[in-house]
Structure 1
Amino acid sequence: MLPTSSLTESLFAVAQAHADTQQPQATFDAINAAVAATIGHRLFTILVHHRAARESERVYTNMREAYPVGGRKPITDSPWMQQVMLQGLPYIGRNADDLRDVFYDHELIVSLGCRSVLNIPLRWRGETLGTLNMLHEENWYDTGHVELARVFAQLAVPAVMAQQTQESMA
């Protein structure tokens, strides 16, 4: 279990980032740091779901060369999409076989030293807006990480909504 002070500091940093004028970047950076400190990750991304276009767009990444901001993935009818995007349920992949079964880019993911994944839906008013995605070494994530990851996902919602508003005004 994480020391309370570390968790409190991480939550405080995200809350403080919400007040920053550099949105959504300030909030995304704070969530990345908070998740790294409390849950752990090697690769961290935030994807936004574009329902009408049937695509997910990467709006944040800690590995810009391998996974640049703006990258898009098609929304399919796969079991992963049904579980995470439609039902709003988290997904835990514990090893490279799980990644291979779910992600078309599994070879790139594994080449980055990532063999497990935790995908947490960003939910607002019963809809999935996108996902918070954490990837790490094999068997890193388990069900004990889900509740805290959900807190960070929900803390990302205002920044994701601000980003969508900025895009619609552009």
Structure 2
Amino acid sequence: MQVPDYSVFTKAVAESRDQPEAAFAALWALTRDLVGVKLFTVMTHDGRKGVAQRIYSNMPEAYPVSGTKPANETHWSRQVIGEKQTFVANDIEGIAAVFSDHELIKSLGCESVINVPIVVAGEVRGTINCLHEAGFYTPERVDASEALKLPGAVCLLMTELNAKGAL
């Protein structure tokens, strides 16, 4: 795997006072360049409360940042949250099997998904969610998505600091 160029992400984290928004925008750009993405969102996961929350979206009209929603126990959650493994579906049928909003996803020109768990201190704190045309997420792109985990963790930790008034 090629070593990713984190310089733009690092600069956004280090120099921008508009946090965590600048870090999320830089993560989106890194994801676009490294893996490829049409629809990009980041969700938090709170296992103690059993809730998830969308905290970033590159398409806020279709997928706005939102309040919490109950985390459902499915084979997706067992794989991504329980086993801390990336989930991939490369057709709309695979998406429909786990996401009730599959019609909206398809209407945006997306028929494949990769959900990358963000793990901090042994716990899944959220996911990076990338969607694109059918068949887009090849094994090479899935391997490349591993490089998003550390910047994703930085973004989530910055969000937590911001919520505590520490940023």
Secondary structure at the residue paired with 2:26? helix
Q: What residue identity is the alignment partner of 2:155?
A: A
Contact 1:42-1:134 at 8 Å conserved across structures:
yes
After superposition, residues 146-161 of structure 1 pair within 5 angstroms as: 146-161=142-157
Q: What residue identity is the alignment partner of 2:101?
A: D
2:140 is equivalent to residue 144 of structure 1: yes
Q: Which residue of 2 aligns with 1:54?
A: 50
Secondary structure at the residue paired with 2:97? helix
Contact 1:27-1:156 at 8 Å conserved across structures:
no
Q: Measure the CA separation in 2 of the matches of 1:40 and 1:73.
A: 27
Q: Measure the CA separation in 2 of the matches of 1:104 and 1:51.
A: 21
Q: Which residue of 1 aligns with 2:97?
A: 101
Q: Percent identity?
A: 33
Match of 2:109 among 107, 113, 124: 113
Contact 1:92-1:142 at 8 Å conserved across structures:
no
Q: Measure the CA separation in 2 of the matches of 1:27 and 1:68.
A: 18
2:32 is equivalent to residue 14 of structure 1: no
After superposing on structure 2, the runs of 4+ consecutive aligned residues of structure 1 that deviate more than 6 Å are none
Q: Measure the CA separation in 2 of the matches of 1:71 and 1:65.
A: 15
The alignment's C-alpha RMSD in Å is: 1.9
Contact 1:93-1:118 at 8 Å conserved across structures:
yes
Q: Which residue of 2 aligns with 1:165?
A: 161
Q: Measure the CA separation in 2 of the matches of 1:72 and 1:108.
A: 19
Secondary structure at the residue paired with 1:151? helix
Q: TM-score, normalised by structure 1?
A: 0.89
Match of 1:35 among 22, 28, 31: 31
**How much has 1:117 moved relative to structure 2?**
0.2
Q: Which residue of 1 aligns with 2:120?
A: 124
Higher normalized helix content (fraction of residues): 1
Q: Measure the CA separation in 2 of the matches of 1:111 and 1:159.
A: 29
Q: Which residue of 2 aligns with 1:24?
A: 20
Q: What residue identity is the alignment partner of 2:105?
A: I
5+ long unaligned stretches in structure 2: none
Deviations 1:58-89 (A, max 9, x none): 11000001110124332111000010012110
Q: TM-score, normalised by structure 2?
A: 0.91
5+ long unaligned stretches in structure 1: none
Q: Which residue of 1 aligns with 2:131?
A: 135
Deviations 1:77-135 (A, max 9, x none): 10000100121100000000001101011111111110000100001111101000000
Deviations 1:37-66 (A, max 9, x none): 221111000001122331110110000011
Q: What residue identity is the alignment partner of 1:80?
A: W
